[in-house]
Amino acid sequence: VGMGNMLYRSGSFFPEFLRMDLDSIRLRWRVFEVLLDQECCDLAYHFQHVGLSADMYLTDWWFTLFAKDFPIEVASKVWDCFLLEGEPFLFRVALGICLTLKDKLLTM
């Protein structure tokens, strides 16, 4: 039931990802870039300067719900929160990763 709700929830990004609805996906990448700029403009500027666009990391993170990047214990908590809170939670996790790794990312 949870998987069905996740896949077919109104406005959910999963059906759009699975259909490869590029307009919708690009919009979400752009929203994230704006959020990153609001939360940490120096990191957003650095990403632009080195040519690192949101699609280069968000696609993998969101399509796998962070399963490739976190231990299963952490990823399963992300999944639980995603099922409870929906898509905005994925934006918060991605922002959290960027902000946590900010110092390292700025040296790239």
Taking alpha carbons only, the member of 56, 53, 97, 98 closest to residue 75 is 97
Grade residue 5 by pLDDT with cuts at 50, 70 and 90: low
The answer to pTM > 0.85 is no
3-state class (DSSP) for residue 4: helix
Question: Which DSSP string do the residues of 61-100 spell out, in sequence order?
Answer: HHHTTTTTTS-HHHHHHHHHHHHHH-HHHHHHHHHHHHHH
Between residues 3 and 10, which one has the greater pLDDT? 3
Whether 13 shows a pLDDT value over 80: the answer reads: no
Determine the topology of domain 2-105 in CATH. Answer: Cyclin A; domain 1 (1.10.472)
- 29-64, pLDDT tens digit by residue? 999 999 999 999 999 999 999 999 999 999 889 888
Q: What percent of the chain has pLDDT over 90?
A: 57
Domain ranges of the chain: 2-105
